[in-house]
Amino acid sequence: MQSTASFLNGPTPVEAAPRLALALGLDSDDLRVKRDDLIGLGGGGNKVRKLQVTMEEAVRSGAETVVTTGAPQSNHARLTAAAGARLGLRVVLVLQGREPESDRGNVLLDKLLGAEIVWSGDQPVEEAADQVERDAGRGRVHRIPFGGSSPSSAEAYVRAGNELLDQVPDVHHVVVAVGSGGTMAGLVTALGATRVLGVDSGAVPDARSVVHGLVRRMRPGGPGTAESLRIDTAQVGDGYEHLGGSTRSALSLAAETEGLVLDPTYSGRAMAGLVAAVKAGSIRPGERTVFLHTGGLPGLFGHDAF
């Protein structure tokens, strides 16, 4: 059995983004970008921090196979495949819907990384994954939850929040995409509810209750109500898999001002949320703001609208 290698290579960089700050309507020194997209494993992204925890749990359980679920262009699925390759574990990815005609974006990488893919067809993915688990035999499979979010894996983002505080002690706002909720839940636990603006991607029906549920399970007696969480649901637009106009403009803005490439599902939506927050006056000039770049670049090459 392999021991768990470290998937992280030290604190991720924090970069100034003065041209983007000015274009948003902030002062030029207000904005920082924390580059979790530059984490090394498998193309990088926020999911690696959480997988450091969930894959350690898999190794400790003695499992030979790891099973997880996701949307067809799931970054979590791709990075589970990468982490499994690093550890010599078999990875089965149960992805929503039917097999696409061509392998693009994350699906191409899933296969390159040696994962087996099961398409759920008309069945809900979690049910299809239950079947995969039964077929593999009890005790030999470790199941990683949808999006890799659990109270224990969200602790990785408590550590990331503390890392950020060391790097940017005067941080006033952190803007982050919300999918399965663990990233925001960890940041809220480290930084408090008022400093974290989560931008909903539409991956779950009720992001507020999912994030709040995780926060409560992490710190049962902790402060904070579901209402105190700052969550922008307006960027979901026509739904998780649809690229809205505000996200498209935000992608162009970051790329053209700073050479910063975002993805159409998560980090692009988070940037659209930052644009909207500055317009609405909930993030103001003079307030130190950190945009967390959570990765997802392969999704750009798997998206029909590009």
The residues of the shown chain that bind ligand PLP, judged by CB under 6 A, are 45-47, 75-76, 147, 149, 177-184, 203, 263, 266-267, 294-296
In this complex, which beta carbon is closest to ligand PLP, that of residue 24 or of residue 146?
146
- Minimum gap (Å) between residue 304 Cβ and ligand PLP: 18
- Minimum gap (Å) between residue 158 Cβ and ligand PLP: 13
In this complex, which beta carbon is closest to ligand PLP, that of residue 276 or of residue 292?
292
- Minimum gap (Å) between residue 284 Cβ and ligand PLP: 25
In this complex, which beta carbon is closest to ligand PLP, that of residue 58 or of residue 203?
203
In this complex, which beta carbon is closest to ligand PLP, that of residue 45 or of residue 84?
45
Cα separation, 137 vs 114, in Å, equals 21
Distances (CA, A) of 254 to 33, 71, 294: 11, 25, 14
Residue nearest to ligand PLP (CB): 179
- Minimum gap (Å) between residue 285 Cβ and ligand PLP: 27
Cα separation, 262 vs 79, in Å, equals 17
Asked if residue 264 lies in contact with residue 243, where contact means CB atoms within 8 angstroms, the answer is yes
Asked if residue 144 lies in contact with residue 58, where contact means CB atoms within 8 angstroms, the answer is yes
In this complex, which beta carbon is closest to ligand PLP, that of residue 69 or of residue 267?
267
- Minimum gap (Å) between residue 182 Cβ and ligand PLP: 4
- Minimum gap (Å) between residue 36 Cβ and ligand PLP: 8
- Minimum gap (Å) between residue 111 Cβ and ligand PLP: 18
In this complex, which beta carbon is closest to ligand PLP, that of residue 87 or of residue 203?
203
In this complex, which beta carbon is closest to ligand PLP, that of residue 39 or of residue 128?
39
Cα separation, 89 vs 98, in Å, equals 25
